Amino acid sequence: MTMITIAEYAAMHGRAEVSVRQMASRGGLRTARKKGRNWMVDSEEPYPDRRRRMREALTREGRESLDAQQRRHELKIAQAKQYSRVGEYHDTFEANLERIPAGLADQLTPEQLGWVVDLLADAYTDGQRHPDYEWLQADDE
């Protein structure tokens, strides 16, 4: 892992330095770390382009049948799926999304929502692998 400056990373990907710095400060680059007053990022990290258009998230008929607030919600969920590691697994993503209180989900950005879904999925998986889980399953049989 070779850490480079934001300026070098931006030049490497043909992006504006200020845009990449903003992305790093908002958590959009997973390997970005602040060293003193400068941001450093792993040179191998791909530049994330997670823009999601409404036409990609919903069909035309689906877009027309929803009001503006519902369309924003659906777009936010579609974007969160892109940020989440389990986003491609529809049932897993939806099951973990339902565990997030609605008020909290409304306050989170799509990226944060995707991370929370991943954390819930990880907690469930860790619980499945816990040594006590096998003992508990043996008692149920």
pLDDT digit string, tens, across residues 35-75 = 999 999 999 888 876 665 555 556 666 667 777 788 788 88
pLDDT over 90, % of the chain: 26
Q: Which residue has better confidence, 17 or 141?
A: 17
Q: How far apart are CA 62 and CA 58, in angstroms?
A: 6
Measured in whole angstroms, the distance separating CA 17 from the mean position of its chain's CA atoms is: 23
pLDDT of residue 29: 85
How far, rounded to the nearest angstrom, does the alpha carbon of residue 123 sit from its chain's CA centroid?
16
Q: How confident is the model at residue 127 (pLDDT cuts 50, 70, 90)?
A: low
- Phi, psi for 75 (deg, rounded to 5): -65, -40
Taking only the tens place, the pLDDT of each residue in 70-99 is 878 888 888 888 888 888 888 889 999 999
Q: How far apart are CA 20 and CA 6, in angstroms?
A: 7
DSSP structure string for 90-111: HHHHHHHHHTS-HHHHHHS-HH
Residues 6 or more apart whose Cβ sits within 8 Å of residue 7: 17
